[in-house]
Protein backbone atom coordinates (compact mmCIF):
# COMPACT_ATOMS: atom_id res chain seq x y z
CA UNK A 1 0.00 0.00 0.00
CA UNK A 2 2.92 2.37 0.57
CA UNK A 3 4.04 2.06 -3.09
CA UNK A 4 0.81 3.21 -4.71
CA UNK A 5 1.16 6.97 -4.13
CA UNK A 6 4.71 6.91 -5.53
CA UNK A 7 3.60 5.16 -8.69
CA UNK A 8 0.78 7.63 -9.23
CA UNK A 9 3.22 10.50 -8.81
CA UNK A 10 5.52 9.15 -11.47
CA UNK A 11 2.64 8.70 -13.95
CA UNK A 12 1.48 12.26 -13.34
CA UNK A 13 5.00 13.62 -13.88
CA UNK A 14 5.25 11.73 -17.21
CA UNK A 15 1.94 13.11 -18.43
CA UNK A 16 3.07 16.62 -17.51
CA UNK A 17 6.26 16.22 -19.52
CA UNK A 18 4.32 14.93 -22.56
CA UNK A 19 2.00 17.94 -22.37
CA UNK A 20 4.92 20.33 -22.21
CA UNK A 21 6.50 18.73 -25.30
CA UNK A 22 3.20 18.97 -27.21
CA UNK A 23 2.94 22.66 -26.30
CA UNK A 24 6.49 23.28 -27.52
CA UNK A 25 5.84 21.53 -30.87
CA UNK A 26 2.59 23.44 -31.35
CA UNK A 27 4.41 26.72 -30.75
CA UNK A 28 7.15 25.80 -33.24
CA UNK A 29 4.55 24.92 -35.88
CA UNK A 30 2.81 28.23 -35.37
CA UNK A 31 6.10 30.13 -35.72
CA UNK A 32 6.87 28.29 -39.01
CA UNK A 33 3.50 29.22 -40.50
CA UNK A 34 3.89 32.94 -39.64
CA UNK A 35 5.33 35.14 -42.46
CA UNK A 36 8.66 36.81 -41.65
CA UNK A 37 8.40 40.38 -40.36
CA UNK A 38 4.75 40.06 -39.46
CA UNK A 39 3.55 39.84 -35.90
CA UNK A 40 0.99 37.15 -35.33
CA UNK A 41 -2.18 38.41 -33.80
CA UNK A 42 -4.44 36.30 -31.74
CA UNK A 43 -7.77 35.53 -33.42
CA UNK A 44 -10.91 37.02 -32.06
CA UNK A 45 -13.67 35.00 -30.58
CA UNK A 46 -15.82 35.39 -33.76
CA UNK A 47 -13.00 34.16 -36.02
CA UNK A 48 -12.37 31.25 -33.70
CA UNK A 49 -16.00 30.27 -33.86
CA UNK A 50 -16.06 30.64 -37.66
CA UNK A 51 -12.87 28.63 -38.17
CA UNK A 52 -14.38 25.76 -36.33
CA UNK A 53 -17.47 26.01 -38.53
CA UNK A 54 -17.86 26.52 -42.30
CA UNK A 55 -14.73 28.57 -43.14
CA UNK A 56 -11.81 26.88 -44.88
CA UNK A 57 -8.23 27.96 -44.08
CA UNK A 58 -6.57 30.07 -46.74
CA UNK A 59 -4.09 28.22 -48.98
CA UNK A 60 -0.39 28.85 -48.48
CA UNK A 61 1.38 31.52 -50.52
CA UNK A 62 3.29 29.03 -52.66
CA UNK A 63 0.08 27.29 -53.87
CA UNK A 64 -0.79 27.98 -57.62
CA UNK A 65 -3.83 30.11 -58.41
CA UNK A 66 -6.85 28.01 -59.50
CA UNK A 67 -9.76 29.69 -61.32
CA UNK A 68 -13.25 28.63 -60.23
CA UNK A 69 -15.07 26.10 -62.48
CA UNK A 70 -17.87 27.57 -64.63
CA UNK A 71 -21.43 26.35 -64.51
CA UNK A 72 -22.08 23.25 -66.73
CA UNK A 73 -24.64 25.17 -68.83
CA UNK A 74 -22.13 27.94 -69.55
CA UNK A 75 -19.42 25.41 -70.43
CA UNK A 76 -21.47 23.83 -73.27
CA UNK A 77 -20.97 25.65 -76.63
CA UNK A 78 -23.97 27.53 -77.99
CA UNK A 79 -24.12 25.53 -81.24
CA UNK A 80 -24.10 22.23 -79.37
CA UNK A 81 -26.89 23.43 -77.09
CA UNK A 82 -29.01 24.44 -80.10
CA UNK A 83 -28.35 21.10 -81.81
CA UNK A 84 -29.31 19.20 -78.65
CA UNK A 85 -32.49 21.23 -78.18
CA UNK A 86 -33.50 20.65 -81.80
CA UNK A 87 -32.45 17.00 -81.60
CA UNK A 88 -34.69 15.94 -78.74
CA UNK A 89 -37.62 17.85 -80.23
CA UNK A 90 -37.09 16.06 -83.54
CA UNK A 91 -36.93 12.74 -81.72
CA UNK A 92 -40.28 13.45 -80.04
CA UNK A 93 -41.78 14.51 -83.37
CA UNK A 94 -40.41 11.38 -85.09
CA UNK A 95 -41.86 9.23 -82.31
CA UNK A 96 -45.26 10.87 -82.72
CA UNK A 97 -45.15 10.32 -86.49
CA UNK A 98 -44.14 6.69 -85.96
CA UNK A 99 -47.05 6.10 -83.59
CA UNK A 100 -49.41 7.80 -86.05
CA UNK A 101 -48.17 5.57 -88.90
CA UNK A 102 -48.68 2.49 -86.74
CA UNK A 103 -52.25 3.55 -85.99
CA UNK A 104 -52.92 4.27 -89.67
CA UNK A 105 -51.46 0.91 -90.75
CA UNK A 106 -53.70 -0.91 -88.27
CA UNK A 107 -56.81 0.73 -89.79
CA UNK A 108 -55.45 1.08 -93.31
CA UNK A 109 -58.69 0.03 -94.99
CA UNK A 110 -60.70 2.72 -93.19
CA UNK A 111 -58.10 5.40 -93.90
CA UNK A 112 -57.90 4.61 -97.62
CA UNK A 113 -61.68 4.47 -97.90
CA UNK A 114 -62.04 7.88 -96.27
CA UNK A 115 -59.26 9.39 -98.41
CA UNK A 116 -60.92 7.98 -101.54
CA UNK A 117 -64.19 9.52 -100.34
CA UNK A 118 -62.45 12.89 -99.95
CA UNK A 119 -61.07 12.71 -103.50
CA UNK A 120 -64.45 11.71 -104.94
CA UNK A 121 -66.14 14.45 -102.92
CA UNK A 122 -63.67 17.01 -104.25
CA UNK A 123 -64.60 15.89 -107.76
CA UNK A 124 -68.40 15.86 -107.24
CA UNK A 125 -68.88 18.75 -104.81
CA UNK A 126 -68.87 21.51 -107.50
CA UNK A 127 -71.80 19.72 -109.19
CA UNK A 128 -73.77 19.66 -105.93
CA UNK A 129 -73.04 23.36 -105.37
CA UNK A 130 -74.18 24.19 -108.91
CA UNK A 131 -77.46 22.32 -108.39
CA UNK A 132 -77.99 24.10 -105.07
CA UNK A 133 -77.56 27.48 -106.78
CA UNK A 134 -80.36 26.48 -109.19
CA UNK A 135 -82.74 25.86 -106.31
CA UNK A 136 -82.45 22.07 -105.98
CA UNK A 137 -82.78 20.89 -102.35
CA UNK A 138 -79.61 19.70 -100.69
CA UNK A 139 -80.68 16.08 -100.29
CA UNK A 140 -81.88 15.74 -103.87
CA UNK A 141 -78.76 17.45 -105.25
CA UNK A 142 -76.53 15.14 -103.22
CA UNK A 143 -78.46 12.02 -104.28
CA UNK A 144 -78.46 12.93 -107.97
CA UNK A 145 -74.75 13.78 -108.02
CA UNK A 146 -73.69 10.70 -106.05
CA UNK A 147 -75.83 8.30 -108.09
CA UNK A 148 -74.60 9.77 -111.36
CA UNK A 149 -70.95 9.66 -110.26
CA UNK A 150 -71.09 6.09 -108.94
CA UNK A 151 -72.97 4.86 -112.02
CA UNK A 152 -70.34 6.37 -114.33
CA UNK A 153 -67.47 4.82 -112.34
CA UNK A 154 -69.24 1.46 -112.26
CA UNK A 155 -69.87 1.52 -116.01
CA UNK A 156 -66.21 2.31 -116.66
CA UNK A 157 -65.10 -0.67 -114.56
CA UNK A 158 -67.64 -2.98 -116.19
CA UNK A 159 -66.58 -1.83 -119.66
CA UNK A 160 -62.93 -2.59 -118.96
CA UNK A 161 -63.72 -6.08 -117.65
CA UNK A 162 -66.05 -6.77 -120.57
CA UNK A 163 -63.48 -5.69 -123.16
CA UNK A 164 -60.77 -7.82 -121.58
CA UNK A 165 -63.01 -10.90 -121.49
CA UNK A 166 -64.12 -10.39 -125.08
CA UNK A 167 -60.58 -10.00 -126.42
CA UNK A 168 -58.62 -12.35 -124.17
CA UNK A 169 -58.71 -15.30 -126.59
CA UNK A 170 -57.75 -13.20 -129.59
CA UNK A 171 -55.11 -11.45 -127.54
CA UNK A 172 -53.55 -14.75 -126.40
CA UNK A 173 -53.27 -15.94 -130.01
CA UNK A 174 -51.77 -12.63 -131.06
CA UNK A 175 -49.36 -12.73 -128.14
CA UNK A 176 -48.19 -16.21 -129.17
CA UNK A 177 -47.71 -15.06 -132.76
CA UNK A 178 -45.92 -11.96 -131.53
CA UNK A 179 -43.58 -14.04 -129.39
CA UNK A 180 -42.72 -16.19 -132.40
CA UNK A 181 -42.05 -13.10 -134.50
CA UNK A 182 -39.96 -11.58 -131.73
CA UNK A 183 -37.97 -14.80 -131.52
CA UNK A 184 -37.29 -14.74 -135.26
CA UNK A 185 -36.34 -11.08 -135.08
CA UNK A 186 -33.89 -11.74 -132.24
CA UNK A 187 -32.28 -14.59 -134.19
CA UNK A 188 -31.76 -12.34 -137.22
CA UNK A 189 -30.91 -9.19 -135.24
CA UNK A 190 -27.42 -7.72 -134.83
CA UNK A 191 -27.50 -8.67 -131.11
CA UNK A 192 -26.19 -12.18 -131.99
CA UNK A 193 -28.82 -14.02 -129.97
CA UNK A 194 -28.68 -17.78 -130.53
CA UNK A 195 -31.37 -20.44 -130.43
CA UNK A 196 -29.85 -22.01 -127.33
CA UNK A 197 -29.96 -18.73 -125.43
CA UNK A 198 -33.64 -18.25 -126.26
CA UNK A 199 -34.40 -21.81 -125.20
CA UNK A 200 -32.53 -21.30 -121.93
CA UNK A 201 -34.53 -18.17 -121.17
CA UNK A 202 -37.80 -20.00 -121.92
CA UNK A 203 -36.71 -22.94 -119.73
CA UNK A 204 -35.85 -20.60 -116.85
CA UNK A 205 -39.27 -18.97 -117.12
CA UNK A 206 -41.00 -22.37 -117.05
CA UNK A 207 -38.91 -23.45 -114.06
CA UNK A 208 -39.69 -20.22 -112.21
CA UNK A 209 -43.42 -20.68 -112.82
CA UNK A 210 -43.26 -24.31 -111.68
CA UNK A 211 -41.28 -23.47 -108.55
CA UNK A 212 -43.72 -20.73 -107.58
CA UNK A 213 -46.88 -22.75 -108.19
CA UNK A 214 -47.62 -22.95 -104.48
CA UNK A 215 -47.11 -19.24 -104.07
CA UNK A 216 -49.41 -18.53 -107.01
CA UNK A 217 -52.06 -20.86 -105.54
CA UNK A 218 -51.78 -19.18 -102.16
CA UNK A 219 -52.11 -15.78 -103.78
CA UNK A 220 -55.23 -17.00 -105.56
CA UNK A 221 -56.72 -18.14 -102.27
CA UNK A 222 -55.81 -14.84 -100.64
CA UNK A 223 -57.50 -13.08 -103.52
CA UNK A 224 -60.87 -13.93 -101.98
CA UNK A 225 -59.92 -11.98 -98.86
CA UNK A 226 -58.67 -9.12 -101.01
CA UNK A 227 -61.98 -9.00 -102.88
CA UNK A 228 -63.93 -8.93 -99.61
CA UNK A 229 -61.75 -6.12 -98.27
CA UNK A 230 -62.08 -4.22 -101.56
CA UNK A 231 -65.87 -4.47 -101.47
CA UNK A 232 -65.88 -3.30 -97.85
CA UNK A 233 -63.66 -0.35 -98.72
CA UNK A 234 -65.85 0.56 -101.71
CA UNK A 235 -69.03 0.54 -99.61
CA UNK A 236 -67.34 2.57 -96.87
CA UNK A 237 -66.09 5.09 -99.42
CA UNK A 238 -69.58 5.42 -100.93
CA UNK A 239 -71.23 6.11 -97.56
CA UNK A 240 -68.48 8.55 -96.59
CA UNK A 241 -68.89 10.38 -99.91
CA UNK A 242 -72.64 10.72 -99.37
CA UNK A 243 -72.22 12.22 -95.91
CA UNK A 244 -69.41 14.53 -97.00
CA UNK A 245 -71.48 15.83 -99.91
CA UNK A 246 -74.58 16.31 -97.79
CA UNK A 247 -73.19 17.51 -94.46
CA UNK A 248 -69.66 18.68 -95.21
CA UNK A 249 -70.06 22.07 -93.54
CA UNK A 250 -71.17 20.73 -90.17
CA UNK A 251 -68.49 18.03 -90.26
CA UNK A 252 -65.87 20.75 -90.79
CA UNK A 253 -67.30 22.87 -87.95
CA UNK A 254 -67.18 19.88 -85.62
CA UNK A 255 -63.59 19.18 -86.66
CA UNK A 256 -62.60 22.74 -85.76
CA UNK A 257 -63.74 22.14 -82.17
CA UNK A 258 -61.01 19.51 -81.78
CA UNK A 259 -58.32 22.21 -82.02
CA UNK A 260 -57.38 24.65 -79.23
CA UNK A 261 -59.35 27.89 -79.19
CA UNK A 262 -56.30 30.02 -80.01
CA UNK A 263 -55.52 27.95 -83.12
CA UNK A 264 -59.07 27.84 -84.50
CA UNK A 265 -58.96 31.13 -86.47
CA UNK A 266 -55.86 30.01 -88.38
CA UNK A 267 -57.23 26.50 -89.01
CA UNK A 268 -60.58 27.98 -90.07
CA UNK A 269 -58.79 30.01 -92.73
CA UNK A 270 -56.44 27.22 -93.84
CA UNK A 271 -59.18 24.60 -94.24
CA UNK A 272 -61.07 26.21 -97.17
CA UNK A 273 -57.81 26.94 -98.96
CA UNK A 274 -56.71 23.33 -98.53
CA UNK A 275 -60.06 22.19 -99.89
CA UNK A 276 -59.72 24.45 -102.94
CA UNK A 277 -56.26 23.03 -103.57
CA UNK A 278 -57.55 19.46 -103.33
CA UNK A 279 -60.51 20.24 -105.61
CA UNK A 280 -58.24 21.88 -108.19
CA UNK A 281 -55.84 18.94 -108.08
CA UNK A 282 -58.53 16.29 -108.54
CA UNK A 283 -60.35 18.22 -111.27
CA UNK A 284 -57.13 19.01 -113.14
CA UNK A 285 -55.87 15.43 -112.84
CA UNK A 286 -59.15 14.05 -114.21
CA UNK A 287 -59.05 16.42 -117.19
CA UNK A 288 -55.39 15.66 -117.95
CA UNK A 289 -55.94 11.90 -117.56
CA UNK A 290 -58.96 12.05 -119.86
CA UNK A 291 -56.98 13.90 -122.54
CA UNK A 292 -54.11 11.39 -122.28
CA UNK A 293 -56.47 8.44 -122.53
CA UNK A 294 -58.32 9.85 -125.54
CA UNK A 295 -55.29 10.80 -127.62
CA UNK A 296 -53.14 7.76 -126.78
CA UNK A 297 -56.17 5.50 -127.26
CA UNK A 298 -56.82 7.00 -130.70
CA UNK A 299 -53.16 6.62 -131.61
CA UNK A 300 -52.93 2.93 -130.72
CA UNK A 301 -56.36 2.31 -132.29
CA UNK A 302 -55.23 3.63 -135.69
CA UNK A 303 -51.99 1.64 -135.33
CA UNK A 304 -54.05 -1.54 -135.05
CA UNK A 305 -53.10 -2.45 -131.49
CA UNK A 306 -55.74 -4.79 -129.99
CA UNK A 307 -57.77 -3.76 -126.93
CA UNK A 308 -57.17 -0.08 -127.60
CA UNK A 309 -60.18 0.97 -125.50
CA UNK A 310 -59.23 -1.03 -122.36
CA UNK A 311 -55.67 0.24 -122.69
CA UNK A 312 -56.99 3.81 -122.87
CA UNK A 313 -58.99 3.20 -119.69
CA UNK A 314 -55.87 1.86 -117.97
CA UNK A 315 -53.98 4.97 -119.09
CA UNK A 316 -56.75 7.11 -117.55
CA UNK A 317 -56.59 5.27 -114.22
CA UNK A 318 -52.79 5.19 -114.01
CA UNK A 319 -52.65 8.94 -114.67
CA UNK A 320 -53.70 9.49 -111.04
CA UNK A 321 -50.21 8.29 -110.05
CA UNK A 322 -47.96 11.20 -111.09
CA UNK A 323 -44.88 10.39 -113.20
CA UNK A 324 -44.88 6.66 -112.40
CA UNK A 325 -48.40 6.01 -113.70
CA UNK A 326 -47.69 7.53 -117.09
CA UNK A 327 -44.54 5.42 -117.48
CA UNK A 328 -46.29 2.17 -116.47
CA UNK A 329 -49.37 2.69 -118.65
CA UNK A 330 -47.25 3.76 -121.63
CA UNK A 331 -44.96 0.74 -121.21
CA UNK A 332 -48.02 -1.54 -121.05
CA UNK A 333 -49.30 -0.16 -124.37
CA UNK A 334 -45.87 -0.55 -125.97
CA UNK A 335 -45.52 -4.17 -124.76
CA UNK A 336 -48.97 -5.11 -126.11
CA UNK A 337 -48.09 -3.51 -129.45
CA UNK A 338 -44.74 -5.33 -129.51
CA UNK A 339 -46.08 -8.83 -128.87
CA UNK A 340 -49.10 -8.43 -131.14
CA UNK A 341 -48.07 -6.21 -134.05
CA UNK A 342 -44.29 -6.27 -134.13
CA UNK A 343 -41.37 -3.97 -133.54
CA UNK A 344 -42.40 -1.20 -135.94
CA UNK A 345 -45.84 -0.79 -134.37
CA UNK A 346 -44.26 -0.84 -130.91
CA UNK A 347 -41.87 1.96 -131.90
CA UNK A 348 -44.74 4.02 -133.31
CA UNK A 349 -46.78 3.41 -130.14
CA UNK A 350 -43.84 4.59 -128.07
CA UNK A 351 -43.61 7.74 -130.18
CA UNK A 352 -47.33 8.46 -129.68
CA UNK A 353 -47.08 7.91 -125.91
CA UNK A 354 -44.03 10.14 -125.55
CA UNK A 355 -45.53 12.92 -127.68
CA UNK A 356 -48.79 13.00 -125.69
CA UNK A 357 -46.97 12.88 -122.36
CA UNK A 358 -44.64 15.71 -123.35
CA UNK A 359 -47.61 17.88 -124.36
CA UNK A 360 -49.30 16.98 -121.09
CA UNK A 361 -46.30 17.78 -118.90
CA UNK A 362 -45.32 21.09 -120.52
CA UNK A 363 -48.66 22.53 -121.65
CA UNK A 364 -51.71 20.83 -120.17
CA UNK A 365 -50.73 20.57 -116.50
CA UNK A 366 -49.44 24.16 -116.10
CA UNK A 367 -52.46 25.51 -118.00
CA UNK A 368 -55.15 23.41 -116.28
CA UNK A 369 -53.81 23.22 -112.74
CA UNK A 370 -52.36 26.73 -112.76
CA UNK A 371 -51.20 28.21 -109.47
CA UNK A 372 -53.65 26.27 -107.32
CA UNK A 373 -51.37 23.24 -107.16
CA UNK A 374 -47.69 24.08 -107.42
CA UNK A 375 -45.34 21.36 -106.19
CA UNK A 376 -41.71 21.02 -107.22
CA UNK A 377 -40.99 17.95 -109.41
CA UNK A 378 -38.44 16.71 -106.87
CA UNK A 379 -41.10 16.84 -104.16
CA UNK A 380 -43.45 14.90 -106.46
CA UNK A 381 -40.87 12.17 -107.08
CA UNK A 382 -39.99 11.84 -103.39
CA UNK A 383 -43.64 11.87 -102.35
CA UNK A 384 -44.62 9.17 -104.85
CA UNK A 385 -41.63 7.01 -103.88
CA UNK A 386 -42.35 7.38 -100.16
CA UNK A 387 -46.07 6.74 -100.57
CA UNK A 388 -45.50 3.62 -102.67
CA UNK A 389 -42.97 2.27 -100.15
CA UNK A 390 -45.32 2.88 -97.21
CA UNK A 391 -48.69 1.84 -98.68
CA UNK A 392 -48.19 0.63 -102.23
CA UNK A 393 -50.34 1.97 -105.06
CA UNK A 394 -52.77 3.66 -102.68
CA UNK A 395 -49.95 5.56 -101.02
CA UNK A 396 -48.59 6.66 -104.40
CA UNK A 397 -52.02 8.01 -105.40
CA UNK A 398 -52.52 9.90 -102.12
CA UNK A 399 -48.95 11.22 -101.73
CA UNK A 400 -49.02 14.14 -104.18
CA UNK A 401 -52.39 15.66 -103.15
CA UNK A 402 -51.28 15.30 -99.53
CA UNK A 403 -48.08 17.22 -100.26
CA UNK A 404 -49.99 19.88 -102.22
CA UNK A 405 -52.52 20.38 -99.42
CA UNK A 406 -49.78 20.47 -96.77
CA UNK A 407 -47.89 23.08 -98.77
CA UNK A 408 -51.01 25.27 -98.97
CA UNK A 409 -51.82 24.90 -95.26
CA UNK A 410 -48.26 25.64 -94.09
CA UNK A 411 -48.00 28.70 -96.32
CA UNK A 412 -51.28 30.13 -95.09
CA UNK A 413 -50.53 29.46 -91.40
CA UNK A 414 -47.14 31.16 -91.76
CA UNK A 415 -48.75 34.28 -93.26
CA UNK A 416 -51.53 34.24 -90.68
CA UNK A 417 -49.08 34.01 -87.76
CA UNK A 418 -47.08 36.94 -89.13
CA UNK A 419 -50.21 39.06 -89.45
CA UNK A 420 -51.31 38.08 -85.94
CA UNK A 421 -47.93 39.06 -84.50
CA UNK A 422 -48.17 42.46 -86.24
CA UNK A 423 -51.66 43.01 -84.89
CA UNK A 424 -50.58 42.27 -81.31
CA UNK A 425 -47.29 44.20 -81.50
CA UNK A 426 -47.10 47.19 -79.08
CA UNK A 427 -47.40 50.67 -80.61
CA UNK A 428 -44.25 52.87 -80.78
CA UNK A 429 -43.61 55.24 -77.91
CA UNK A 430 -45.64 58.42 -78.29
CA UNK A 431 -47.81 57.02 -81.10
CA UNK A 432 -51.50 56.32 -80.81
CA UNK A 433 -52.33 52.67 -81.24
CA UNK A 434 -54.86 52.10 -84.02
CA UNK A 435 -57.20 49.24 -83.26
CA UNK A 436 -57.10 46.54 -85.92
CA UNK A 437 -60.08 44.32 -86.42
CA UNK A 438 -59.34 40.62 -86.26
CA UNK A 439 -59.18 38.81 -89.55
CA UNK A 440 -62.33 36.80 -90.03
CA UNK A 441 -62.09 33.37 -91.58
CA UNK A 442 -63.15 33.12 -95.21
CA UNK A 443 -66.77 32.39 -95.91
CA UNK A 444 -66.06 29.47 -98.25
CA UNK A 445 -65.95 26.00 -96.77
CA UNK A 446 -66.51 22.42 -97.64
CA UNK A 447 -70.27 22.77 -97.57
CA UNK A 448 -72.32 21.90 -100.61
CA UNK A 449 -74.26 25.14 -100.45
Q: Enter the pTM of the model.
A: 0.64
Greater pLDDT, 179 or 42: 179
Most confident of 80-94, 172-186, 203-217: 80-94
Span 270-293, mean pLDDT? 85
Residue 108 vs residue 5, higher pLDDT: 108
Q: What is the mean pLDDT of residues 55-72?
A: 69
Confidence of residue 388 (pLDDT cuts 50, 70, 90): confident
Q: What would the mean pLDDT of 84-92 be, rounded to a whole number?
A: 91
pLDDT of 309 > 50? The answer is: yes
Q: What is the 3-class SS of the chain, one letter each residue?
A: CCCHHHHHHHHHHHHHHHHHHHHHHHHHHHHHHCCCCCCCCCCCHHHHHHHCCCCCCCCCCCCCCCCCCCCHHHHCCHHHHHHHHHHHHHHHHHHHHHHHHHHHHHCHHHHHHHHHHHHHHHHHHHHHHHHHHCCCCHHHHHHHHHHHHHHHHHHHHHHHHHHHHHHHHHHHHHHHHHHHHHHHHHHHCCCCCCHHHHHHHHHHHHHHHHHCHHHHHHHHHHHHHHHHHHHHHHHHHHHHHHHHHHHHHHHHHHHHCCCCHHHHHHHHHHHHHHHHHHHHHHHHHHHHHHHHHHHHHHHHHHCCCCCHHHHHHHHHHHCCCCCHHHHHHHHHHHHHHHHHHCHHHHHHHHHHHHHHHHHHHHHHHHHHHCCCCCCCHHHHHHHHHHHHHHHHHHHHHHHHHHHHHHHHHHHHHHHHHHHHHHHCCCCCCCCCCCCCCCCCCCCCCCCCC
- State mean pLDDT over 67-87: 81
Amino acid sequence: MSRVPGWLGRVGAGISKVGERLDERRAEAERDEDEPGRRRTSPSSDETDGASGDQVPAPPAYAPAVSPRPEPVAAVPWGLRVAAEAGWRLLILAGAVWVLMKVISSVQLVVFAFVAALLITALLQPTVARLRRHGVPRGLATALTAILGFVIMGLVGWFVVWQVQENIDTLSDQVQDGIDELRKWLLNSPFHVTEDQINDIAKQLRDAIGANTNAITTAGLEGVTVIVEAMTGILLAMFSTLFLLYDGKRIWEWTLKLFPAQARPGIAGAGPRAWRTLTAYVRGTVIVALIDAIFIGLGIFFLGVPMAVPLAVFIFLFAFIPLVGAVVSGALAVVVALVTQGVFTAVMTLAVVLAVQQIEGHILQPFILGRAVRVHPLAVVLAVATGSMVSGIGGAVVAVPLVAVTNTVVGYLRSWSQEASLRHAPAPHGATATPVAPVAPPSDSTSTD
